[in-house]
Structure 1
Amino acid sequence: MSKALFPPGFIGSLQSEPGFDEQSFVAAHENEASVSIRLNPFKPSDIKKGAQVPWYKEGFHLEKRPSFTFDPLFHAGAYYVQEASSMFIGHIFNYIKPDGEPVKVLDLCAAPGGKSTLLNSLLSNTDLLVANEIIKTRVPILADNLTRWGTANSIVTNNDPRDFTRLKGFFDVILVDAPCSGSGMFRKDAAAMDEWSQANVVLCHQRQQRILADIYPALKEDGYLIYSTCSYSHQENEDVVDWLCTEFEMESINIPVQPDWNITVSRSKEKAAYGYRFYPGKILGEGLFAACLKKTKDSGELSAHKNSGQQKLSAKEIELVKAYINDADNYYYLKVADDWLAIDKHHHESLNILHKHLYIKKSGVRIGKIAGRDLVPDHELALSTIINKDAVLQTPLNYDKAIAYLRKDNLVLNTTEKGWSLMTYEGLALGWAKLLPNRVNNYYPKELRILSAQPV
């Protein structure tokens, strides 16, 4: 991509940005973006990997882009396809996360789920992740990606940032990966070039301030705000961090980086706050800005919440459901309509509080419905890490049959087993099928099935 193919005025706008080198930047955009994946630590697998991402040990570059659609391990949640620069958020979180103390984390602008699954990888069962998406139509892909990740300590919400103002001091860490002018994604998304303009940079700056002002009360005193964009413009980056430090009680945190990572460490004009810039041509990844700030003042406490409408659940049904769960006594069980759900019991009260204030789309793991004396298992249970695999049949599939299953095609299996069975590939679950005497009923969700033609 030559300099002339960038939006008018774009290269000129970057000349004074910290660490910008026009020659290496333009040259990098003449080549395809690198491909990288991040492994799921909860679902170990044998995946061919390339060079490690320097700032994140579970991130790896691939030598070439495979067809992820036709990799059953992708559908099983063994890894997430994420560009390398974004994994720096994990490096920040590892640095600020307190040892041994449960934390509540909010990913405010979470879809499609890359940074949510990244944060979730760094949490224990007693930690809670709330992944929020403002745009309703983007919530399903966020929920699907967290389902594939498999844990029971996440909640998906669909709310405007202002709705979180009521949750005073609730979160220990908030990530705001803010909507931005998108210049850091030019190499991966050519359409972003058509939308870029200096006027749009200004509009994004104003929107970012509004989002951050709305979310500020929900962060507790001594909690951390991680702010990131995929923009190179100082108006959306260092200027926003300066504004946060000026208008609110926040101080900049210096995140250690290695010199050979080639990350540009910037300092904001007014407050000398630390920022971290990623430029294609200097790093093997896309454009990113990130900063971390600590809140130094209390915004007040969340009012006490009493849940007087606690569900009365059938003890027999609970015992039936618990048979499908590993360490079943470690979970809180609830029903939404006819569906049974499980979430780590440490998050029972948090779930009640969030239910009062937010629109919840997914909580923990959906286990299934009870029909008579049997459980009709849900796809979320199949992909979860909490399922008791000793309680269910498992049917291993080779590659061709796994793809047929993921297409929701008819399966012909050489088995005498009957009943609900996990369909697995290389030891990881793909979903459910029901084995009958003369056929196999494929219960892979139709909205997730592979529709495209397999590459030759």
Structure 2
Amino acid sequence: MQNHQFPINFLESLLNEPGFDHQNFVDTHQKNDSPTSIRINPFKKTSTKTGEQVPWCADGLYLYTRPSFTFDPLFHAGAYYVQEASSMFIGHILKHIKPEAPVNIIDLCAAPGGKSTLLNSAMTPDDLLVANEIIKTRVPILTDNLARWGTANTIVTNNDPKDFGRLTGFFDIVLVDAPCSGSGMFRKDPDAMDEWSPANVNLCHQRQERILADIYPALKEDGYLIYSTCSYSHQENEDILDWLCSTFALESIRIPVNKEWGIVESQSTKKEAWGYRFYPGLVKGEGLFASVLRKRESSGNLTSFKNNKNQKVPHNELDLIKPYINDPSAYYFFKVNEDWMAINQQHKESLNLLQHHLYIKKSGVCIGKLAGRDLIPDHELALSIIVNKDAAVQTELDYDQAILYLRRENLNIDEAKKGWSLMNFEGHTLGWAKLLPNRVNNYYPKELRILSSPRPSSKEGER
């Protein structure tokens, strides 16, 4: 940060923002490094990660030192997600608005997947999460992160927000973590300063309005819209709330926060809509703005859709698949090309509906494909929480073996049992290998293998 200067006019633009402390803000950016925080996967609990708890997130931890995440097998197993602490506040909001009844939730601007996994952590199998990413090149990291999280109640889509207008009233909760000017990430990513300008703020404001207008019909009456940015700009935050409340039948919802957390509560100028501002130096985290509004009108009824092209499931194949799944009666099985997939049974109709309207990149968990009467299991199945671990050999690896496996290198394992094996580290599965009489075939995906030396990039996860 010492080598970067704030953009011209940036600090002046913040002088009248709620809770802004000029000197504290400057000192924090110049003198303090960003804290390192992770969020534990509640479906894959690990007791080996310790740190100070993030006040607004029960599963969030500030680590005392930043480890080499690339060389931590538990990171690859999906036991935790590296996420900026302020962003975890979205989970706090969800805790206060999510009903007990099953809900459909969409994370509209989802990549790389931090907020999608955060939402998913608070969901039950009865709830459905749609994680959408408009930029095609960012979809793979989103699917990888959700696959690591391990649940089957997720669908990844690659659509423009306007495409969701056809899904009238389908979602109970909509999260729009909107593309923004990025000023809240200046400390973590000083290069972002080069992109900031008043003109870019204005451009982002216009894009945010378009995105919100496009997704609005898909939110059902009495449903909740969570809006967030990583910007400090009034134009991208409180002004957007005023625009929302003036344009649509939305009411602001106030979320309880502890004063000791250092979060600044704000209200918009015209409609007095509630927002929550995070400033480095006041909170242990980066810049964030978050808010939640409730829809008080109907956008009409969703046009009914009956799928008359239901796939005929070859039961002889299905009988070979089911032993690999815990409680197979809880899942709907279907094929995409040669791959067998599973999603929670209660989401079958929603999947058919979404397939009719959207471009789907991933549904539930990929189980694998059959070769004769043998299943070639998919990496997603290994990382999932639905895999029947009794259906395969399990091999516990020490740290050095785990790193060799994650590099997709050769392993020497003294294992009497042969066949498909789940390769585990500290009880958490990393992937598959096939144990043969004289060798081990490493099936860790080539595109995921560790390529770097033991001084890796430290920006896995985030947001």
TM-score class, shorter = over 0.9
Letter of the 2:398 counterpart: N
SS in 1 for 2:324: coil
1:91 is paired with a residue whose SS is: helix
CA distance in 2, matches of 1:362, 1:114: 17
Q: Secondary structure at the match of 2:130?
A: strand
Does 1:339 find its partner at 2:358? no
- Is it true that 1:265 corresponds to 2:247 in the alignment? no
Aligned residue for 2:17?
17
Once the 2 structures are TM-superposed, how far is the Cα of residue 93 of structure 1 from its aligned partner? 0.3
User: Which residue of the partner structure matches residue 58 of structure 1?
Assistant: 59
Give TM-score scaled by structure 2 length: 0.97
**Taking CA–CA contacts closer than 8 Å with sequence separation of 6 or more, which of the two structures ends up with the larger relative contact order?**
2
Amino acid at match of 2:258: Q
1:414 counterpart SS class: coil
Q: Secondary structure at the match of 1:266?
A: strand
Residues of 1 paired with 2:65 and 2:169: CA distance?
45
- Farther-moved stretch of structure 1 (364-373 vs 410-419): 410-419
Match of 2:439 in 1: 439
Q: Residues 390 and 11 from structure 1, CA distance in 2 versus in 1: closer, same or farther, beyond 3 angstroms?
A: same
Residue of structure 2 in register with 1:36 after alignment: 37
Counterparts of 1:250-329 in structure 2, within 5 Å, are 250-329=250-329
| Match in the other structure for 1:67 | 68
Q: Does 1:216 align with 2:248?
A: no
1:222-233 maps to which residues of 2 (within 5 A)? 222-233=222-233
Query: Given residue 235 of structure 1, which amino acid in structure 2 is its aligned partner?
Result: Q
Aligned residue in 2 for 1:206: 206
Partner of 1:134: 134
1:2, CA displacement in angstroms? 6.4
Alignment of 1:415-426 (within 5 A): 415-426=415-426
2:174–2:225 contact (8 Å) kept in structure 1: yes
Say which SS state the counterpart of residue 422 (structure 2) adopts.
strand
Cα deviation 1:38-83 (Å, max 9, x = unaligned)? 0000001122321100011100101111000000000000000001
Amino acid at match of 2:10: F
Is 1:382 matched with 2:382? yes
Task: Give the CA deviation at 1:454.
Answer: 1.4
User: What TM-score, normalized by structure 1, do the two folds share?
Assistant: 0.99
Structure 1: how far apart are the matches of 2:440 and 2:183? 49
The answer to whether the Cα contact below 8 Å between 2:110 and 2:133 also exists between their aligned partners in 1 is yes
Q: Counterparts of 2:163 and 2:144 in 1: how far apart (Å)?
A: 23
Change (3 A) 1:452 1:4: closer
1:165 and 2:184 matched:
no
Contact 1:185 1:230 in 2 (8 A): yes
Aligned: 1:154 with 2:142: no
1:29 aligned counterpart, secondary structure: helix
Determine if contact 1:125/1:344 at 8 Å carries over to the other structure: yes
- Which stretches of structure 1, 4 residues or more, deviate above 4 A after TM superposition? 1-4
Secondary structure in 1 aligned to 2:294? strand
Give yes or no for the alignment of 1:349 onto 2:343: no
2:79 partner letter: A
Task: Count the aligned residue pairs.
Answer: 455
Letter in 1 for 2:338: D
Aligned to 2:99: 98
Conserved in 2, the CA contact under 8 Å of 1:111 and 1:139?
yes
Write out per-residue CA displacement over residues 248-291 of structure 1, whole angstroms, 9 at most, x where no aligned residue.
01000000001101100000000000000000000000000000
Residue 406 of structure 1 contacts residue 450 of structure 1 at CA under 8 Å; is this kept in 2? Answer: yes
What letter matches 1:39 in structure 2? I
In structure 2, the residue matched to 1:6 is: 6
In the other structure, the counterpart of 1:365 is 365
Aligned to 2:197: 197
CA RMSD of aligned residues (A): 1.1
Moved more, 312-321 or 176-185: 312-321
Gaps of 5+ in 2: 457-463
Moved more, 410-419 or 294-303: 410-419
Conserved in 1, the CA contact under 8 Å of 2:392 and 2:419?
no
Q: Give the Cα separation in 1 of the matches to 2:37 and 2:185.
A: 15
Aligned equivalents of 2:167, 2:374: Cα separation in 1: 39
Whether the aligned pair in 2 keeps the contact of 1:3 and 1:11 (CA below 8 Å) is no
Shift of 1:4: 7.8
How far does residue 438 in structure 1 lie from its aligned partner after superposition?
1.0
Q: Where does the alignment leave 5 or more consecutive residues of structure 1 unmatched?
A: none
What is the letter of the counterpart of residue 21 of structure 1?
D
Q: Is the 8 A contact 1:130 1:155 kept in 2?
A: yes
Q: Secondary structure at the match of 1:41?
A: coil
1:428 aligns with 2:425: no
Instruction: Indicate whether 1:247 and 2:247 are aligned.
Output: yes
**2:397 matched residue in structure 1:** 397
Q: Distance in 1 between matches of 2:182 and 2:277?
A: 14
Deviation of residue 3 (structure 1)? 11
Partner SS for 1:123: coil
Aligned equivalent of 2:460 = none
1:77 match: 78
- Taking the aligned partners of 1:313 and 1:161, their CA distance within structure 2 comes to 33
User: Is the CA contact 1:173–1:223 (under 8 Å) kept in the aligned structure 2?
Assistant: yes
Q: Is the 8 A contact 2:104 2:129 kept in 1?
A: yes
Kindly provide the amino acid, as one letter, of the partner of residue 58 in structure 2: K
Q: Deviations over 1:9-60 (max 9, x none)?
A: 1111100111000111111112210000000000011223211000111001
